[in-house]
Amino acid sequence: MDEKYFPEKIEEKWQREWEQTGAFQVERDDARPKFYCLEMLPYPSGYLHMGHVRNYSIGDALSWYKRLRGFNVLHPIGWDSFGQPAEQAAIKRGVMPMEWTEENIAHMRGQLKRIGVSYDWRREIAAHRPDYYKWDQWFFLKLYERGLAYKRASAVNWCPKEQTVLSNEQSSGGVCWRCGTQVEKKDLEQWFIRITEYAEQLLDDMAEIEAGWPERVLTMQRNWINRSVGAYIDFPVKDSDAKVRVFTTRIDTIYGATAVIVAAEHPLLSELPEGSSLKADVDRFVARLRAERASRAAIVAGGEEEEKEGVNTGLFVTNPFSGEQLPVWVANYVLMDYGAGAVMSVPAHDERDFEFAQKYSLPIRRVIERVSHEQEQIAHDERELDQSVAMPHAFTDYGILVNSGEWGGKLSADAIREMAEYAQREGFGGGAVTYRLRDWGISRQKFWGAPIPVIYCEDCGVVPVPEKDLPVVLPERAEFTGAGESPLAGVAEFVNTTCPKCAKPARRETDTMDTFVDSSWYFYRYCDPHNDRAAFDTEVVKYWTPVDQYIGGIDHAVMHLLYTRFWTKFMRDIGLVEFDEPVKNLMTQGMVTNLIEGTDEWRRMSKSLGNGVDPDDMIEAYGADAVRLFVLFAAPPENELRWQETGIEGAVRFLRRVYTFIWRWRDSLRDAPRGVPSSEGFSAAARALRHETHRAIVRVTEGFERMSFNTNVAALMELSNALGEFQVAPDGATPAERFAVREALESLVLMLTPFTPHVAEELWEGLGHEGGIIAGLKNGSVRWPQAEESLARRDELEIPVQINGKLRGRIRATRDTAEDELRIAALSDERVRAWTEGRDIVKVIVVPQRLVNIVVR
Ligand SMILES: [Zn+2]
Ligand SMILES: [Zn+2]
């Protein structure tokens, strides 16, 4: 230990030590409880940003805490290294994606090591390496075997000029990001994973994680899945054998249907007679709709934001309940993705239908009336309603059926059940549950992803690659122009192969997988990262999983976290794990913001806004420990963190104060008694310090259990202040006082470890513990400080004593010390007596719990 705090030197020393001793390497150990702490794995863009630093500082603090509590802590990291930016770099600068990615990883790994995050680096994985994506492909085959991976035509954004597929971002504003051509929708055969098969479980199993996940995330997932209970009804098409299947949650309103509306992609539209003027109208409308949709970044299900538009197809269907003929329209607010791509339009009782009916003058017929208390009494009473009164807007509540034939007079709730049963009996419908959740499209017409392991043979059709031939390895080089087909399709050695079944020439699938596949199961691989016979050993995974704490951004609330929950359920179904949910506790950390220069506006740090802060610069200036301490102190982890460099300066000052104090005391602490001296030996100052120490232990321990890091740092600063006020000099301290100081310092250092591990190691060694904290954890000499409840609770006050209004001393008392006792204590205090000796005491004023003022003459 040097006399002064030099972060750079200390951090280098301990990072080297950790590396050389394999400090954070863990193996399965059935004798100890395990803790799996996981941070969302980063995309290797090239540089860490402060959002990363925050995420990893949170995870690292928790990992250290659990280690000190005796847990066997798995804390790994890896790279979500497939994806678009690597391909963009290839297009722009001609550097191959593999090279670009590996360089970025190397750089970011160095940054992570300089922050000193306690990862088990032997477990590092990267999605773009064949030893990893081999198992993506293996999972795909398992999904395919079970009918959970399938292929169908689906629309993509298409630049007709460059003949290339564009992502939503690349087609924002409806034009190609590169050449400005109007983007079109084009149908391509694509691979999907049947996640909808698990919709019900994805909803129901939320009960298992409710206690550990933010309600906000669960709500977002619930809305995304969006289960609705209702009925389907088949409307026969006039002069045809075709039927239009409609899904509705409000079958009770079916007598109010004045049209059936289908989506632009609905197969019924092919029934329109070729060459008719109506067909021309419909075709024109559909074409325009598809062009417009291509221009939207993402199609909002239900088309909520669109101006409602439609065109009459000239076809008619029959309402199977009323026998009435209804016109069929096609409109933009009905999507093929929801229900069956067709709805019955009930303008009187649905806002969107109402708006549409008003615009196109469709009849509005009211069939539900508000239920008053008396009306509830007269169910089954056939009621009629005056339809001539115009409705100002749709009436969407439940109520009582009117103008509904034999169903009139029933309450909505009864009618919904009974009408669905009736439809089922009559063979034209029945009860149904539907979800907004769609199957997961995993096909990407891109190079930099895991190749989908499928071969196309003219004779045998779709042939999955046999397991023994995995991985299907990406070629090292390809030509990246950004135009035309996927670069993979241009690599003949890749595309041309032989059929595994008949050995004739065949072609490989050139679509690659969505990168969300890679991140759906990566944390299982960390448990057994070098296994080349299986994705992982199930026994090893059984020990480490489920993940005890997962930490990441709220932007992953839906896609990633839903896919990973699905993947685990699928893994359970093929016997790889025994539980339903992969993550017990989830924390979504808030964003890091910074002032936009010249304004008073705080915005998320970003390069493009020019308000980013480079973690490397901060570490160089203040040290990794101070940066981490500030990041955890400045705000609760879920909240926005406002970046303030003065805050880091404060963190450095705090660490320097603790460092200097230990430097001053370390010699005199060497021979401090190890056991607790008899209590009579403790001076008032020592007793007060012990109280502060044990109080801090209680607060910090509780804080860690709640991941309340900022209040923990505050408690540690208070303990350091208490040490600062400890007036005894090291060489004049009694054994009991030295005991109290060592107790305070050792507790402080251990509790600082999760925040500032490097300097904590150095200080621990400075306090006479050879090899630092990690060595102590390994030989069992280090454990989280234990609070003595009685010491922590003791509620001692420090009461100032004034003489003629000037502060001359302090006495110790509790909240219940009586006025008389305070007076006696004040008058007998040594320092006070020095001031009062030889003078007349005129008056003693006592304010209990606050103050003693002595007036002398
Ligand atoms: Zn283009
Ligand atoms: Zn074949």
- From ligand 1's centre to the CA of 730, what distance in Å? 76
- From ligand 1's centre to the CA of 169, what distance in Å? 13
Rounded mean pLDDT, 328-340: 86
Rounded mean pLDDT, 723-742: 92
679 — pLDDT class (breaks 50, 70, 90): low
Handedness of CA 645, 651, 653, 656 (dihedral sign): negative
Q: What is the pLDDT of residue 382?
A: 44
Check pLDDT > 70 for residue 364.
yes
Check pLDDT > 90 for residue 461.
yes
Ligand at shortest distance from the CA of 184: 1
- From ligand 1's centre to the CA of 164, what distance in Å? 7
Q: What is the pLDDT of residue 696?
A: 96
- From ligand 2's centre to the CA of 175, what distance in Å? 41
- From ligand 1's centre to the CA of 483, what distance in Å? 7
- From ligand 2's centre to the CA of 93, what distance in Å? 40
| Neighbouring C-beta atoms of residue 804, cutoff 10 Å | 13
End-to-end CA distance of the chain: 53
Beta strands in 333-460 (DSSP E): 342-345, 368-369, 400-401, 429-435, 440-441, 443-444, 454-457
Q: Among the ranges 132-141, 165-174, 369-378, which has the highest mean pLDDT value? A: 132-141
- From ligand 2's centre to the CA of 70, what distance in Å? 58
39 — pLDDT class (breaks 50, 70, 90): very high
**For the whole prediction, is pTM greater than 0.85?**
no
Rounded mean pLDDT, 602-630: 91
Rounded mean pLDDT, 763-784: 95
528 — pLDDT class (breaks 50, 70, 90): very high
Residues at Cβ < 5 Å from ligand 2 ion: 457, 459-460, 499, 501-502
> 28: which 2 tokens?
């399965």
Rounded mean pLDDT, 204-233: 95
- From ligand 1's centre to the CA of 303, what distance in Å? 26
Ligand at shortest distance from the CA of 162: 1
Rounded mean pLDDT, 494-516: 96
- From ligand 1's centre to the CA of 85, what distance in Å? 18
- From ligand 1's centre to the CA of 165, what distance in Å? 9
Q: What is the pLDDT of residue 569?
A: 98
Long-range interactions of 291-295: CB distance < 8 A, separation 24+: 291/174, 291/182, 291/183, 291/184, 291/185, 292/174, 292/332, 293/185, 294/157, 294/158, 294/171, 294/174, 294/183, 294/184, 294/185, 295/171, 295/172, 295/173, 295/174, 295/175, 295/183
Give the lowest-confidence range in 359-368, 631-640, 819-828: 819-828
Angstrom distance (rounded) from CA 607 to CA 594: 11
551 — pLDDT class (breaks 50, 70, 90): very high
Ligand at shortest distance from the CA of 502: 2
379 — pLDDT class (breaks 50, 70, 90): very low
Identify the residue with better confidence: 415 or 611.
415
Closest residue by Cα to residue 725 from 740, 712, 735, 711: 740
How far from the centroid of its chain's Cα atoms is residue 285's Cα? 40
Q: What is the pLDDT of residue 390?
A: 74
Q: Give phi and psi for 825, each to the nearest 5.
A: -60, -40
Ligand at shortest distance from the CA of 498: 2
Rounded mean pLDDT, 667-673: 85
Rounded mean pLDDT, 368-379: 66
Ligand at shortest distance from the CA of 183: 1
Identify the residue with better confidence: 823 or 680.
823
299 — pLDDT class (breaks 50, 70, 90): very low
Check pLDDT > 60 for residue 220.
yes
Q: What is the pLDDT of residue 168?
A: 77
- From ligand 1's centre to the CA of 183, what distance in Å? 8
- From ligand 1's centre to the CA of 177, what distance in Å? 7
- From ligand 1's centre to the CA of 99, what distance in Å? 27
Q: What is the pLDDT of residue 386?
A: 61
Q: What is the pLDDT of residue 816?
A: 72
Q: Among the ranges 124-133, 159-168, 263-272, 411-420, which has the highest mean pLDDT value? A: 124-133
Residues 57-87 pLDDT 10s? 999 999 999 999 999 999 999 999 999 889 9
374 — pLDDT class (breaks 50, 70, 90): low
Give the lowest-confidence range in 177-191, 313-327, 786-800: 786-800
